[in-house]
Chain A
Amino acid sequence: GAVVSQHPSWVICKSGTSVKIECRSLDFQATTMFWYRQFPKQSLMLMATSNEGSKATYEQGVEKDKFLINHASLTLSTLTVTSAHPEDSSFYICSARDPGYTEAFFGQGTRLTVV
């Protein structure tokens, strides 16, 4: 299967600062990537769909100005959490669509802690 890498694996930031999470497809070109969020002891919820070269599509209830998504190349999508607050602390996971497969492939996730 295809390989998706996220960076960093974990990050701690101060309240009010912004943090960027990268999602890379290592061995394929991903025209579409997805960002999910997992609160502690809860399930994963889709936040947004990232399309290369166009604006991201956000799920209902997700603040697009807070969670900035950029998909500037076929192998990289970034999620920037702006003006982070403790309630943004969560596990963020990306997935990427490989056109050669019927399924998407997940990164290993990024644990964000806002203090």
Chain B
Amino acid sequence: AQSVTQPDIHITVSEGASLELRCNYSYGATPYLFWYVQSPGQGLQLLLKYFSGDTLVQGIKGFEAEFKRSQSSFNLRKPSVHWSDAAEYFCAVVPSGTYKYIFGTGTRLKVLA
């Protein structure tokens, strides 16, 4: 069965530090890959997505992610974190053509001033 793993439940970084959130998936083929951010009590905001092509994708708010087929990973990065980035981050995979999103368990980011 398809699955998504976000190994880090909580991450704390200092403002201005770099950030990497990990995401690994289990799927026979290359799925569509997404990162979403959710602030408390809010809905999902799409940060970036990967369908095919260039494995390094740029998103909003200065985020980027790199797809590595050999590692079945799609890690999210940001070179300098801002206090407003504190939120819950979800990685999601979508088997091609299904439109059904399989979400990871999420990583809660805390930013220290």
- B105 in contact with A34 (CB, 8 Å): no
The answer to whether the Cβ of A36 comes within 8 Å of any Cβ in the partner chain is: yes
Residue among A44, A95, A106, A109 having the largest count of chain B Cβ atoms under 10 Å: A44
**Which one of A11-19, A66-74, A77-85, A96-104 is at the B interface?**
A96-104
Total cross-chain contacts (CB, 8 A): 45
B90 touches A109 (CB 8 A): no
In the complex, chain B residues whose CB is within 8 Å of the CB of A46: 100-102
Interface residues in A, total, Cβ within 8 A: 20
Smallest distance from the beta carbon of B8 to chain A beta carbons, Å?
Answer: 14
State how many residues of chain B have any CB contact under 8 Å with chain A: 18
Interface segment among B41-49, B66-74, B76-84: the answer is B41-49
What B residues does A102 contact at CB under 8 A?
A: 32, 51
For A104, the chain B residues whose CB sits under 8 A away are 94, 99, 101
Compute how far the CA of A103 lies from the CA of B93 in the bound complex, rounded to whole angstroms. 11
Contact A103 to B32, CB < 8 A, known contacts A43-B104, A97-B99: yes
Smallest CB separation, B44 vs chain A (Å): 5
Contact, CB under 8 Å: B101 / A43: no
Query: What residues of chain A lie closer than 8 Å to B63, measured between beta carbons?
Result: none
Chain B residues with CB under 8 A of A49: 100
Specify which chain B residues have a CB less than 8 angstroms from the CB of A95 in the assembled complex.
99, 101
Contact A108 B101 (CB under 8 A): no
Task: Check: A76 CB closer than 8 A to any chain B CB.
Answer: no
- Is the pair B43, A44 in contact by a Cβ cutoff of 8 Å? no
A70 to B100: give the CA distance in the assembly, Å: 18
A-contacting residues of B (Cβ < 8 Å)? Answer: 32, 34, 41-44, 49, 51, 90, 94, 99-106
A34-B99, A43-B105 are known contacts; what are 19 more A-B pairs with Cβ within 8 Å? A32-B99, A36-B101, A42-B105, A43-B90, A44-B103, A45-B103, A46-B100, A46-B101, A49-B100, A95-B101, A103-B32, A103-B34, A103-B49, A103-B94, A104-B94, A104-B99, A109-B42, A109-B43, A109-B44
A-B contact pairs, 9 of them (CB 8 A): A32-B99, A42-B105, A43-B103, A43-B104, A44-B101, A102-B32, A102-B51, A107-B43, A108-B43
